[in-house]
A and B are shown apart, each in its own frame.
Chain A
Amino acid sequence: MSLLRTEGIRLSFGGLLALDDVDVAIEAGEIVGLLGPNGAGKSTLFNVLSGLLRPDAGRVHLGDQELTRALPYERALAGMGRTFQHIKLFPSMTVEENLLTAQHRHLDSSALAAMLRLPSWKRDEEEARDRVEAVLELIDLERYRRHRPGELSYGTLRFVELAVALSLQPRILLLDEPASGIAQREAEALGPLLREVRDVLGCAIFLIEHDMPLLLSVSERVYALDFGRIIAAGTPDEVTADDRVLSSYLGRTRRDAVAAG
Chain B
Amino acid sequence: MTADALDATSALPLPRRLPRARPGTVVGILAVVAAAVVPVLLGDFASFVGSRIAVTAIIGLSVTVVTGYTGQLSLMPYTFVGIGTFTAAHAVSSWGWPFWFAALLAAVATLPLSVLVGLVSVRLRGFYLAIATLTFASAVGATLFTWDALTGGQRGLTVARPALGPVPVASDRAYYLLTLATVLLIVWMVLGLQRSRIGRSMNAVRENETAAQALGVNVRKTKLAAFVISGMIAGVGGVFHAMLLQHVTRTSFQTPFVETLGVTLVILVVVGGMRSAWGPFVGAAIIYVQLEVFRTALLLQYVLAALSAAAFIFILLKVPGGLVDIVRHEAAAVRAAPLRNGIRVTVVLLVQVAVFVAIWRWSS
B213 touches A133 (CB 8 A): no
Residues of A within 8 A of B200 (CB): 93, 97, 100-101, 104
Q: Give the number of residues in B that approach A within 8 Å (Cβ atoms).
A: 41
Q: Which of B48-56, B96-104, B148-156, B185-193 lies at the binding interface?
A: B185-193
- On chain A, the residues within 8 Å of B204 by CB distance are 90, 93, 101
Hey, what's the 0/1 contact readout for A101-140 against B, CB within 8 Å counting as 1?
A: 1111101011101111100010011001111011101100
In the assembled complex, the Cα of A91 lies from the Cα of B213 at a distance in Å of 16
CB proximity of B328 to chain A, nearest CB, Å: 14
Q: In residues 262-311 of chain B, which contact A (Cβ within 8 Å)?
A: 275
Q: In the bound complex, how far is the Cα of B215 from the Cα of A82, in angstroms?
A: 8
CB 8 Å contact bits of B153-190 with A (1 = contact, 0 = none): 00000000000000000000000000000000000011
Query: Considering the chains assembled together, what is the distance between the CA atoms of A112 and B225 in angstroms?
Result: 11
What distance in Å separates the Cβ of B145 from its nearest Cβ neighbour in chain A?
29
Given contact pairs A102-B216, A202-B5, A114 touches B193 in the complex (Cβ within 8 A): yes
Q: Are B210 and A28 in contact (CB under 8 A)?
A: no
Structural contact, B207 and A92, CB atoms closer than 8 A: yes
Q: How far is the CB of B290 from chain A (nearest CB, A)?
A: 29
- The reply to whether A115 and B9 form a contact with Cβ atoms under 8 Å apart is no
The distance in angstroms between the C-alpha atoms of A107 and B268, with both chains bound, is 34
A52 at the binding interface (Cβ < 8 Å):
yes
CA distance A170 to B275 in the complex (A): 30
Interface of A is mostly: helix
Interface residues of B in 198-221 (CB under 8 A from A): 198-201, 203-204, 207-208, 210-219
Contact with B along A128-166 (1 / 0, CB 8 A): 111101110110001000000000000000000000110
How many Å from the CB of A200 to the closest CB on chain B?
6
A124–B229 Cα distance when bound, in Å, is 21
The yes or no answer to B196 lying at the interface (CB within 8 A) is: yes
Bound CA span A91–B196, Å = 18
Residues in chain B near residue A114, CB distance under 8 A:
192-193, 195-199
Number of interface residues of A (CB under 8 A): 60
Indicate which residue in B4, B12, B193, B210 contacts A134 across the interface (CB closer than 8 Å). B12
- Interface 1/0s, chain A 7-42, versus B by CB < 8 A? 000000000000000000000110000000000000
Nearest-Cβ distance from residue B35 to partner chain A, whole angstroms? 22
Q: Once the chains bind, are A88 and B214 in contact (CB under 8 Å)?
A: yes
Docked Cα-Cα span, A104 to B196, in Å, equals: 9
Is B1 an interface position by the 8 A CB rule? Answer: yes
CB-contact partner of B213 in A28, A73, A164, under 8 A: A73
Tell me which residues across on chain A come within 8 A of B41, comparing CB atoms. Answer: none
A193 CB within 8 Å of chain B: no
Taking the closest CB of chain B, its distance from the CB of A77, in whole angstroms, is: 5
Q: Is the CB of B15 within 8 A of A133?
A: yes
| A137 touching B9, Cβ below 8 Å | no
A69 smallest CB distance to B (angstroms)? 15
Q: Which residues of B contact A79 (CB under 8 A)?
A: 2, 6
Interface 0/1 of B121-163, CB less than 8 Å to A: 0000000000000000000000000000000000000000000
| Chain B hits for A134, CB < 8 A | 9-10, 12-15
Does A76 lie at the interface of the complex (its beta carbon under 8 Å from any beta carbon of B)? yes
- Which among B12, B193, B198, B213 is the interface contact of A137 at CB below 8 angstroms? B12
Asked whether A115 lies within 8 Å of B189 as measured between CB atoms, the reply is: yes
Q: Is A216 an interface residue (CB 8 A)?
A: no
Residues of B within 8 A of A105 (CB): 216
Partner of A28, one of B2, B212, B214: B2
User: Does B17 lie at the interface of the complex (its beta carbon under 8 Å from any beta carbon of A)?
Assistant: yes
A101 touches B203 (CB 8 A): yes
Is B33 located at the chain interface by the 8 A CB criterion?
no
Whether, in the assembled complex, A229 has its beta carbon less than 8 Å from a beta carbon of chain B, the answer is no
The A194-239 residues at the B interface (CB cut-off 8 A) are 200-203
Partner of B5, one of A81, A82, A102, A203: A203
- Contacts A88-B208, A101-B201, A168-B216; is A117 near B192 (CB within 8 Å)? yes
CB of B26 within 8 Å of the partner chain: no
Known contacts A171-B6, A200-B12; is-contact A50 B211 (Cβ 8 Å): no
Asked if A250 is an interface residue, CB under 8 A from chain B, the answer is no
Query: A121 touching B17 by the CB < 8 A rule?
Result: no
Complex Cα gap A200–B225 (Å): 36
What residue in chain A is nearest B201 (Cβ atoms)?
A104
- Which residue of B is nearest A199, CB measured? B8
* Contacts A131-B9, A202-B4 given; does A84 touch B216 at CB 8 Å: no
Is A191 at the interface (CB under 8 A from chain B)?
no
Complex interface: chain B residues within 8 A of A200 (CB): 8-9, 12
A6 within 8 A of B: no
CA distance A133 to B6 in the complex (A): 16
B2 / chain A contacts, CB cutoff of 8 Å: 3, 28, 63, 79, 171
Question: Is B15 a contact partner of A137 (Cβ separation < 8 A)?
Answer: yes
Contact of A102 among B198, B203, B215 (CB under 8 A): B215
Point out the residues of chain B lying under 8 angstroms from A88, CB to CB.
Answer: 208, 210-211, 214
Known contacts being A111-B198, A115-B189, A134-B12, is A169 close to B203, with CB within 8 Å?
no
Instruction: Name 5 interchain pairs, CB-CB below 8 A, sorted by A.
Output: A73-B215, A114-B199, A130-B10, A138-B12, A164-B215
| The 10 nearest A-B residue pairs measured at CB | A114-B196, A202-B5, A76-B216, A88-B211, A115-B189, A72-B213, A134-B12, A107-B197, A105-B216, A102-B215
Residues of chain A whose beta carbon lies under 8 Å from any beta carbon of chain B: 3, 28-29, 50-52, 63, 71-73, 76-77, 79, 81-82, 84, 88-93, 97, 100-105, 107, 109-111, 113-117, 121, 124-125, 128-131, 133-135, 137-138, 142, 164-165, 168-169, 171, 200-203
